[in-house]
Homo-oligomer: A and B are copies of this chain.
């Protein structure tokens, strides 16, 4: 039976996990991120992933039961990270809507949308991995539930922020805010995908033109000012 080591860290999932083991897992997940993006989940082999992480398959099977489990671990880690970033990012750009005297700056909702778009690191890798996850979800109800849950979480967060920003600007949306959030997300994702398609090697964040051009216009068109 395993005896607890002093360096062990108990973070509530599973009984106990050594730091060494945690590091190995992290490196495997990092590697999986690259390999999955490059070849796809199905085409990637356990050996490729292990090798790129500097291990053999032995290490892999000592830490994960299957390639799919590793993929889910990758998704969990990245989703949590991005949700965090979204939250802090939205908080950081909201204040720019009102100036020092507490007056809202007219027409700046569009500017906020642009700021929001700039928050998103449009990582080619993330787009690919996310697309893989969506495909998996479209064929498996359990995975779909996971996918939709995260998607809705992000959507709610964005909707809440949109409501707050609109209120500050004395505006209101002419369609339900959650729908606006969905539109923003859908157009943003479509734009990222198109960017990846047009420039498969580009890691620069520039070619999100479509979303940058159209989203502010749409959001603007979908608001009306509140009589106060």
Which chain B residues border A140 with CB–CB below 8 Å?
A: 200
Q: Are B138 and A198 in contact (CB under 8 A)?
A: no
Q: By DSSP majority rule, is chain A's interface helix, strand, loop, or mixed?
A: helix
A179 contacts chain B at the CB level, 8 A cutoff: yes
Copies of this protein in the assembly total: 2
Q: Which of B43, B127, B131, B147 contacts A197 (CB 8 A)?
A: B147
A1-9, A59-67, A214-222 - the one binding chain B: A214-222
Inter-chain contact A148/B183, CB cutoff 8 Å: no
Contact assessment for A138 and B210 in the assembled complex, using a CB-CB cutoff below 8 Å: no
What's the Cα separation between A174 and B217 when bound, in Å? 9
Given contacts A183-B214, A198-B144, contact A138 B134 (CB under 8 A): no
CB pair A197–B138 under 8 Å, yes or no, is: yes
Asked if A207 lies at the interface with its beta carbon under 8 angstroms from chain B, I say no
**A190 adjacent to chain B (CB < 8 Å):** yes
Q: Which of the four size classes fits the interface of chain A?
A: 35 or more
* Chain B residues, CB < 8 A from A198: 144, 148
Instruction: Write out, one digit per residue, whether chain A residues 167-201 have a CB within 8 A of any chain B CB (1) or not (0).
Output: 00000001100010011011101110110111010
Is A81 part of the binding interface, using a Cβ–Cβ cutoff of 8 Å? no
**In the docked arrangement, what's the CA distance between A139 and B193, Å?**
11
Contacts of A160 in B (CB 8 A): none
16 contacts between A and B (CB under 8 A): A38-B139, A40-B42, A127-B138, A131-B134, A131-B135, A140-B200, A144-B197, A148-B198, A175-B213, A175-B214, A182-B190, A183-B187, A186-B187, A190-B190, A218-B221, A221-B222
The chain A residues found within 8 Å of chain B, CB to CB, are 38-40, 42-43, 127-128, 131-132, 134-135, 137-141, 144, 147-148, 174-175, 179, 182-183, 185-187, 189-191, 193-194, 196-198, 200, 210, 213-214, 217-218, 221-222
